[in-house]
Amino acid sequence: MTTDPPADPSPRALSESLAALAAQVADLRGQIRALNERLDQAGLHADLNLAARFEGLAQTVADALDTAAPRGRKSAIH
């Protein structure tokens, strides 16, 4: 049993598909531009080392928790 290859799409169908793809690309470019603007506003840029910033934040939180922890006091329950 042999099957016929699918028919080539018409030039009109190709044109409509291409126009739809162009609209999607334009929309995605707009979204990327908006995201880049938001990243810039947040101070995030290509040479920023996020891992180092998170490590610094983790250290700050650890220090704050250490400072807030009670030292050498016995609880009133014991």
Query: pLDDT tens digits, residue range 35-62?
Result: 989 988 988 877 888 889 899 999 999 9
- Tokens matching residue 3: 């099957």
Inside any domain, residue 32: yes
Domain-embedded: residue 74: no
Assigned domain for 57 exists: yes
Q: Is residue 50 part of a domain?
A: yes
The count of residues in the chain is 78
Our count of domains for the chain comes to: 1
Separation of alpha carbons 50 and 36, rounded Å: 16
Can you give the residue range of the structural domain that contains 29?
A: 22-68
Domain membership of residue 8 (yes or no) is no
Looking at residue 11, the DSSP 8-state letter turns out to be: H
Note the pLDDT tens digit of each residue in 21-35: 999 999 999 999 999
pTM of the entire structure? 0.50
Task: Give me 46's structure tokens.
Answer: 């290509």
Is residue 17 in some structural domain?
Answer: no
Q: What is the DSSP letter of 9?
A: P
